Amino acid sequence: MAAELEAEVPAFDRSLLECSAEELAAKWLQTNDLQKEVYQHLAYYVPKIYCRGPNPAPQREDLLAQQVLLGPMEWYLCGEDPAFGFPKLEQANKPSHLCGRVFKVGEPTYSCRDCAVDPTCVLCMECFLGSIHKEHRYRMTTSGGGGFCDCGDTEAWKEGPYCKKHEINTSETEEEEDPLVHLSEDMVARAYNIFAITFKYAVDILTWEKENELPGLEMTEKSDTYYCMLFNDEVHTYEQVIYTLQKAVNCTQKEAIGFATTVDRDGRRSVRYGDFQYCEQAKSVIVRNTSRQTKPLKVQVMHSSIVAHQSFGLKLLTWLGSIIGYSDGLRRILCQVGLQEGPDGENSSLVDKLMLSDSKLWKGARNVYHQLFMSSLLMDLKYKKLFAIRFARNYRQLQRDYMEDDHERAVSVAALSVQLFTVPTLARMLITEENLMTTIIKTFMDHLRHRDIQGRFQFERYTALQAFKFRRVQSLILDLKYVLISKPTEWSDDLRHKFLEGFDAFLELLKCMQGMDPITRQVGQHIEMEPEWEAAFTLQMKLTLVISMMQDWCALDEKVLIEAYKKCLAVLMQCHSGFTDGEQPIVLNMCGHSVETIRYCVSQEKVSIHLPVSRLLAGLHVLLSKTEVAYKFPELLPLSELSPPMLIEHPLRCLVLCAQVHAGMWRRNGFSLVNQIYYYHNVKCRREMFDKDIVMLQTGVSMMDPNHFLMIMLSRFELYQIFSTPDYGKRFSTENTNKDIVQQNNTLIEEMLYLIIMIVGERFSPGIGQVNATDEIKREIIHQLSIRPMAHSELVKALPEDENRETGMESVIEEVACFKKPGLTGRGLYELKPECTRNFNLYFYHFSRAEQSKAEEAQRKLRKQNREDTALPPPALPPFCPLFASLVNILQSDVMLCIMGTILQWAVEHNGYAWSESMLQRVLHLLGMALQEEKQHLENLSEENVVTFTFTQKISKPGDAPNNSPSILAMLETLQNAPHLEVHKDMIRWILKTFNAIKKLRESSSTSPVAETEGNIMEESSRDKDKAERKRKAEIARLRREKIMAQMSEMQRHFINENKELFQQTLEELDTSASGVHDNSPVTSDAKLTALGPEQTRVAEHRQVVMCILCQEEQEVKVDSRAMVLAAFIQRSTVLSKNRSKTIPDPEKYDPLFMHPDLSCGTHTGSCGHIMHAHCWQRYFDAVQAKEQRRQQRLRVHTSYDVENGEFLCPLCECLSNTVIPLLPPPRVLFNRLDFSGQPNLAHWIKTVCQQIKALYLLRDEDCASKSKELNPYSESIKEMLTTFGTATYKVGLKVHPNEEDPRVPIMCWGSCAYTIQTIGKIVVSVAFSLKDDCLTSLTRFAAAHWTVSSLSAVQGHFCTLLASLVPNEKNGNLPCILDIDMFHLLVNLVLSFPAIHCQDFSGVSLGTGDLHLFHLVTMAHIIQILLTSSTEENGMDQENTSSEEEVAVLTLYKFLCQCTGSALKEISSGWHLWKNLKAGIMPFLRCSALFFHYLNGVPAPSEMEVSGTNQFEHLCSYLSLPNNLTCLFQENSDIMNTLIESWCSNNEVKRYLEGKRHAISYARESNKLIDLPDDYSCLINQASNFSCPKSGGDKSRAPTLCLVCGTMLCSQSYCCQTELEGEDVGACTAHTYTCGSGVGIFLRVRECQVLFLAGKTKGCFYPPPYLDDYGETDQGLRRGNPLHLCKERFKKIQKLWQQHSITEEIGHAQEANQTLVGIDWQHL
Ligand SMILES: [Zn+2]
Ligand SMILES: [Zn+2]
Ligand SMILES: [Zn+2]
Ligand SMILES: [Zn+2]
Ligand SMILES: [Zn+2]
Ligand SMILES: [Zn+2]
Ligand SMILES: [Zn+2]
């Protein structure tokens, strides 16, 4: 393939290499017309170098270009050899203090929350680490590409603008110095010449649009060679492009993917090369194929010369960028060249030309020139300003181009706005000199053209295209935000003027929003189509912050504020003109007050939620108070023009609308309205919507008679009749049988009362109440935390987006909350401090209804716990600012008293009236507020003031004639004892108490001191406390009783599935009772315990009774009864692997008899331990299978388990399983003969066995199968399960089709047993023996019994081969040498296959003897293995005087080994070292062997062994029937061992190893761990940003993903790195799991900060990363950007999941819990 491609590239002209740069430069230095010379040179050579064939050859092109094209330019520029010239320039340069590093995609960036002027100011990692900010509160994000490091920009940082690296010489260059002074005059002239020519050439050729001509250049190549160029767009998908290309240019899918990837990355790629006709043809096919639904893909047929020159043009721009890096002087010259006006006047500079053709350029070209702009214009402070002006002047055009363009913003020149507008001095300059604010707003208005008759925005016919454009338009709002980010510290008249002009434009914009999307209540039928509402709300949402910023600016200057206020008011009046036209005014009368208003019903007429002008005015009004302008210059304000009823009208309508929606009156208007109401209150909008409507009401009401306001409000709520007419309510509810209407009215009354509470109570904005910003934020936090303890991120989300959100919050959080650290799961939480609960207001206006009821419940519970009464009285409030002071009078107004009295009356008379408890609760709250108010007034009373707030007096007065209703106070006293108001009793009591306190205060204010009354209250409260205490105790007792009762009925009601825990408990109880029998057996009590051999400790048989989780019948585990099985999961595993690159060649031919000691792939079996009858399981499994097949046919969805592969979920715990293991009694008992006389020694035994084997070979032909069948003691059902599990192990372990006859089945079963024990042995250091481990016990016993259901001769054959590896015979040649055998696997295989020989043995040797000899033999082989491979470094220390017996013995053995190997073994003289190594090396083997024999024979382990201590070795030896001095084994059996050792050592492989020609595993094998992760997450981000896709040549990977097992970085979720696996395309991660983890993988997705678990191709889940921020939270998706640090405990937990083989199980649980995970295409990750 590669060779073919080479051939297609024509050989280049050798003459090219002879071109001398030096000579050419000399010629250029002489010439008069440099441009002509250069152009001629380029015209001739460029087409000879670039674009010589169908595929680009960038390396060759670059090489030649440097030699022939750029070389002369460099010579010319330097006037000498550039190898000397450039370093000179660099030396003479005074480097700028700007870092200016341009960010790569995915590179980490840092911002300081304390010092950054705005959040767009960022540092690169290097600068950050060298800055003071790393000690501050910083934020970390990954760059989306573009943008550069702001280090050194003094305007970007309040403090520490320089890092250590860029700090040098700061003192010298404070003053602006012209960098040109460092260059010679000649140099300046030459640079100017060559820059002007090359820059112009590049710009001309890149912006060239003709297809057959060149700008100012001759077409030297006239050949008919064209390219068919395919361009990128954002409309067509990858798949569409790939498919089309395959059709159009006849390429393979691979090539098409290559083309598509390049097009996506660079913006264009030639897909065909040849004559014009040939290219045209491809073009037409592409266009035809892609034009069906959308606009077609852009394709252009271009002459090869043009493409060549364009390629070189790009190269030149990059070159210029690197040249100016040598010198700031050169940079300035380039800037000058770029911004110099061309011959065509305005907008004709090269920079203008590039910017204005931005949208016509392809992505690659844009990126190159943007980068050049960033490294030139933006790095030179003088030219940055000039460039900013050019940018601002072209702003409208650039935005228009961007709207038409379909590329992402990141590749548009419009995105450079952030670099310019966020610089405070530039922004200020652009506002005053270029009127930027107005420009932006007007440009914005240009693009929103759909208006209704009144000139308001209209989004009714909102198409997808419009939505797309609208999203683009929103970027203008972002620009406006940038401009406003930094607020001016000083105002010039110019700035005032231009800001106010911008404000005018802004008001025009808001005016178009005022009243948009009006709605009318739908009666009768439901609306047919949900009206469009999202566009309007998106606009509002995006503008929210800008509106707030506008107000912030206004607040800074009194003159601006006054002007803005006037302008805003004027616009509002315009909006309201015609507001009362044609309406008959009506008059309302109540309690002797009367007011005139208009006739208007929200439920009948049009109403709109969008009132930005009113709301802006409300905001400004508050500022008048906050800045005290209202008090200082009242004469300058148009206060007299304000008409309070007009001000409140629209906000009031909007609030009434909300109330009516809540009361269910607008149900027929559909969900769109519900959504709008939701956002109106939501934290994203409320600041400039709901909050400001409340402020507007407060503003209006503060200027009105409260009685008038209340009457108007009643009228708007359509409740006027009810309260103005005595007894109307009574009549209303009796006459009106329609319960809905009654309910509706009740809700409306509740809502109205709530609104009054808010108007009077919400005074925590500076300017309304006498508070500061800190008080406001504190109150928000207190109320959020009143609901429940919250994590940092939750709190942040609950606060509006402004500077308060985080830094503001953090400044107060310590005062109001305590932080609680997270555990292994979950996150850190803030908990409200107890003393803050007294500030809790049940009717806090930002609570949603759900939050309010949760908070109420939580607070009442808390008070109960603290033994307080459960009243939640209103908190004491800060006083109003003077401008709003009159608001408190609402509470004591006549109409208010009437409303409260009426409702209390309803409650007193209780029956027959429509009233609700919430209504009463709100009235009580209002009463409480009024009392608090009066109390505060009295307490703050100074000499000259008279208390005008006389609420207590008013509520003591009975109603007037004629109805003579009782006083409010009297009614309260009645209600206090009403049985139906139990819940409110505490509150009523609180009100009465407070009333009395105030009365006393009033009396005492003249005479007695206040203390007395307080004493009384104290006394009273302590008495209350006693009572409360008694009550509380009774309550607790009652609750406990109730709980128990509930539990009991629960237990009876539910089936196990719904009550798993309980059921599990019972199971465990059963279990303990069963093992209890065993523990009490006297045999085991004192004697020495031995696990195997003739001396094996006899264990008393105990009945094992288990319960089936499916039918719940109990059954004993017996040989001849029905089988009981455990749900189990078998998987291939590489967890223990010491060689991850190894793969099994061909599963069909692979022989697993010997396990290699690198343990590269094993079979693991796990179980959740839940037991079933075999037949119950079978029935269950069949049902699942049938159900799943139906479901898959119907829904075509995946499940978390793969039924076709035999997978199912444990019916009890939903643990993923793929087979079952039968439960068996200890199998040895069945075959062991209890005759111990005259047992042979090892040598004798081996001889006997060898003879036996020989005999067997002779008997082969005879059918012994029948015999073994006779011998088989197991019931049919158990035999069936033995086969089932065996086959499953074989199938999964080898990845082959099931075949129960295959002779490898028993090997796989033994292997799984050995491997699983090894994994346990690795995890548990102190061997925890427990018969309760059902899984391992069953697994071992199963493996021991499996031979009874497989071919006897096959098993016998296996045994012979296995034994031959240690005891060679002539039949079995070519076996692995002892270095290449895992001895534990060998032991297990030998021991478990031995009964197959033994069952036909009549020599009278016991099975136990065989076990013991096999064990000893393997142990000795292992010792030799360890000694051969031990890499002991003899370091001379610890050469203790006397050597122990063990050390002497092991030294002797080692010396013998040296002899056998012909002295190839390293000489070691220290017995101490050898013994130490041996002991350490053999421990894991001994531990695993102990476990194995323990599970096999059921001999309990001595309790001392469970403690890992110095004696563990001795205990293990004793338990395993080994001498403590292991080498004694050799001495005892020296007759046979010497021969064996000699034969082992004479093996060729062993020799090669000793000669250093091959490698071998040494012992003890260390257990595998996941890779080490850095503490600071940004290290990983940095590592990932430097990682490029291994397949697409240096391209950055989009989803770099780290394998946590081996540390490989992968390019995930991308076409470039897809490979084929078993006939399917899979992503890099899935492919990697197959080599690294045999299908299971643990990854860290670095950009997402997310752990990924994969198992097989279809299963996966995300798991929380082990990185936490300071608030104890993870940041999945890296959205918050707090610094993240490794949490070692959480990482250990992940590691443990991996080591315990629980990854697949974890995925299963995650997928069961979250069905959406099932739908993800895991295989493509
Ligand atoms: Zn930097
Ligand atoms: Zn720096
Ligand atoms: Zn800082
Ligand atoms: Zn059962
Ligand atoms: Zn289970
Ligand atoms: Zn890739
Ligand atoms: Zn890996």
Q: Are 364 and 83 in contact (CB under 8 A)?
A: no
Rounded distance from Cα 793 to ligand 3 centre (Å): 22
57-86 exposure pattern, b = at least 16 Cβ within 10 A, e = fewer: beeebeebbebbbbbbbbbbbbeeebeebb
Q: Are 556 and 488 in contact (CB under 8 A)?
A: yes
Give the Cα separation of 1333 and 1351 in Å (integer). 30
Residue 1172: the pLDDT is: 92
Residue 1018: the pLDDT is: 47
Neighbouring-strand partners of residue 505:
none
Rounded distance from Cα 119 to ligand 3 centre (Å): 12
Residue 569: the pLDDT is: 94
Rounded distance from Cα 1704 to ligand 7 centre (Å): 16
Distance of alpha carbon 83 from the chain centroid = 50
* Predicted confidence (pLDDT) at residue 412 exceeds the cutoff of 80: yes
Rounded distance from Cα 166 to ligand 2 centre (Å): 5
pLDDT, one tens digit per residue, over 589-620 is 888 899 988 888 899 889 999 999 999 999 99
Which residues have C-beta under 5 Å from ligand 3, the single-atom ion? 112, 114-115, 133, 136
Residue 494: the pLDDT is: 93
Q: Which two tokens stand for residue 851?
A: 């939050």
Rounded distance from Cα 604 to ligand 4 centre (Å): 67
Q: Is 1296 exposed, middle or buried (0-12, 13-18, 19+ CB in 10 A)?
A: middle
Rounded distance from Cα 364 to ligand 2 centre (Å): 28
Identify which ligand lies nearest to the alpha carbon of 1173. 4
Rounded distance from Cα 1004 to ligand 2 centre (Å): 69
* Predicted confidence (pLDDT) at residue 249 exceeds the cutoff of 90: no
Residue 911: the pLDDT is: 64
Rounded distance from Cα 239 to ligand 7 centre (Å): 29
Rounded distance from Cα 1663 to ligand 5 centre (Å): 22
Residue 1036: the pLDDT is: 62
Give the Cα separation of 1682 and 1679 in Å (integer). 9
* Predicted confidence (pLDDT) at residue 1417 exceeds the cutoff of 50: yes
Identify which ligand lies nearest to the alpha carbon of 1114. 4
Q: Are 1025 and 907 in contact (CB under 8 A)?
A: no
Q: Are 319 and 369 in contact (CB under 8 A)?
A: no
Distance of alpha carbon 1396 from the chain centroid = 56
Rounded distance from Cα 1126 to ligand 5 centre (Å): 8
Distance of alpha carbon 1335 from the chain centroid = 36
3-state helix, strand, coil in the chain (%, to 5): 55, 10, 35
Q: Which two tokens stand for residue 202?
A: 């590049």
Rounded distance from Cα 98 to ligand 2 centre (Å): 7
Amino acid found at 182: H
Residue 1084: the pLDDT is: 42
Angle (CA) 1530-1534-1535 rounded to 5° is: 150
Q: Report whether the peptide linkage leading into residue 1222 is cis, meaning its omega lies within 30 degrees of zero.
A: no
Neighbouring-strand partners of residue 231:
268
Rounded distance from Cα 970 to ligand 3 centre (Å): 63
Identify which ligand lies nearest to the alpha carbon of 136. 3
Over residues 1058-1083, the mean pLDDT reads 39
Rounded distance from Cα 1483 to ligand 7 centre (Å): 29
Rounded distance from Cα 126 to ligand 1 centre (Å): 6
Give the Cα separation of 394 and 1459 in Å (integer). 91
Rounded distance from Cα 1178 to ligand 4 centre (Å): 10
pLDDT, one tens digit per residue, over 1254-1274 is 887 776 655 454 454 556 778
Q: From residue 1060, give the alpha-carbon distance in Å to each of 1178, 1215, 1216.
A: 22, 13, 17
Rounded distance from Cα 1616 to ligand 6 centre (Å): 4
Residue 1272: the pLDDT is: 73
Q: Are 1677 and 1644 in contact (CB under 8 A)?
A: no
End-to-end alpha-carbon separation of the chain, Å? 28
* Predicted confidence (pLDDT) at residue 1622 exceeds the cutoff of 90: no
Give the Cα separation of 1089 and 205 in Å (integer). 91
Rounded distance from Cα 100 to ligand 1 centre (Å): 6
Rounded distance from Cα 1140 to ligand 7 centre (Å): 8
pLDDT, one tens digit per residue, over 1463-1491 is 777 777 778 888 888 888 998 899 899 88
Strands 1650-1655 and 1659-1663: antiparallel
**What residues contact residue 434 under an 8 Å CB cut-off, 6+ apart?**
389, 392, 393
Q: Which has the minimum average pLDDT: 1429-1433, 1492-1496, 1643-1647?
A: 1429-1433
Rounded distance from Cα 1299 to ligand 3 centre (Å): 68
1376-1394 exposure pattern, b = at least 16 Cβ within 10 A, e = fewer: bbbbbbbbbbbbbbbbbbb
| Average pLDDT score over the chain | 84
793 C-beta neighbours (distance < 10 Å), count: 17
Q: What's 1640's DSSP letter?
A: E
Residue 1535: the pLDDT is: 83
Q: What is the CA radius of gyration of the chain?
A: 43
Identify which ligand lies nearest to the alpha carbon of 1643. 7
pLDDT, one tens digit per residue, over 21-73 is 888 999 999 988 999 999 999 988 898 888 877 877 878 888 889 988 999 99
245 C-beta neighbours (distance < 10 Å), count: 29
Q: What's 527's DSSP letter?
A: P
Identify which ligand lies nearest to the alpha carbon of 1633. 7
Q: In terms of Cα–Cα distance, which of 1530, 1567, 598 is closest to 1137?
A: 1567
Q: Are 147 and 110 in contact (CB under 8 A)?
A: no
Distance of alpha carbon 1605 from the chain centroid = 21
Distance of alpha carbon 285 from the chain centroid = 43
Neighbouring-strand partners of residue 1596:
1588
Rounded distance from Cα 1205 to ligand 4 centre (Å): 24
**Residue 1619 half-sphere exposure toward CB, CA atoms < 13 A:** 16
Q: State whether residue 1173 is helix, strand or coil.
A: strand
pLDDT, one tens digit per residue, over 462-501 is 677 777 778 888 889 999 999 998 889 899 999 999 999 9
Q: Are 951 and 945 in contact (CB under 8 A)?
A: no
Q: In terms of Cα–Cα distance, which of 961, 611, 826 is closest to 1673?
A: 826
Residue 1418: the pLDDT is: 94
Q: Give the long-range contacts of residues 1540-1544, CB within 8 A, separation 24 or more.
A: 1540/1366, 1540/1367, 1540/1420, 1541/1424, 1541/1456, 1541/1457, 1541/1460, 1542/1460, 1543/1368, 1544/1366, 1544/1377, 1544/1378, 1544/1421, 1544/1424
* Predicted confidence (pLDDT) at residue 1010 exceeds the cutoff of 90: no
Rounded distance from Cα 1608 to ligand 7 centre (Å): 6
Rounded distance from Cα 1617 to ligand 6 centre (Å): 4
Give me the DSSP letters along 988-1050.
HHHHHHHHHHHHHHHHHTTSS-HHHHHHHHHHHHHHHHHHHHHHHHHHHHHHHHHHHHHHHHH
Q: How confident is the model at residue 653 (pLDDT cuts 50, 70, 90)?
A: very high
More confident residue, 826 or 969: 969
Q: What's 1466's DSSP letter?
A: P
pLDDT, one tens digit per residue, over 106-165 is 888 999 988 888 888 999 988 998 999 988 888 888 887 778 899 988 888 988 899 988
Identify which ligand lies nearest to the alpha carbon of 148. 1
Q: Which has the minimum average pLDDT: 737-741, 1212-1216, 1668-1672?
A: 737-741
Rounded distance from Cα 1223 to ligand 4 centre (Å): 14
Q: How confident is the model at residue 1440 (pLDDT cuts 50, 70, 90)?
A: low
Residue 180: the pLDDT is: 83
Rounded distance from Cα 1109 to ligand 4 centre (Å): 7
Q: Are 1384 and 1313 in contact (CB under 8 A)?
A: no
Rounded distance from Cα 1632 to ligand 7 centre (Å): 6
Rounded distance from Cα 1211 to ligand 5 centre (Å): 7
Rounded distance from Cα 1590 to ligand 6 centre (Å): 6
Rounded distance from Cα 123 to ligand 2 centre (Å): 7
More confident residue, 800 or 1594: 800
Rounded distance from Cα 1163 to ligand 7 centre (Å): 18
Over residues 1617-1622, the mean pLDDT reads 84
Give the Cα separation of 37 and 981 in Å (integer). 101
Rounded distance from Cα 1685 to ligand 2 centre (Å): 24
Rounded distance from Cα 152 to ligand 1 centre (Å): 8
Rounded distance from Cα 1141 to ligand 7 centre (Å): 10
Q: Which has the minimum average pLDDT: 212-216, 400-404, 1330-1334, 1336-1340?
A: 1330-1334
Identify which ligand lies nearest to the alpha carbon of 1125. 4
44 C-beta neighbours (distance < 10 Å), count: 14
Over residues 256-284, the mean pLDDT reads 89
Give the Cα separation of 907 and 924 in Å (integer). 12
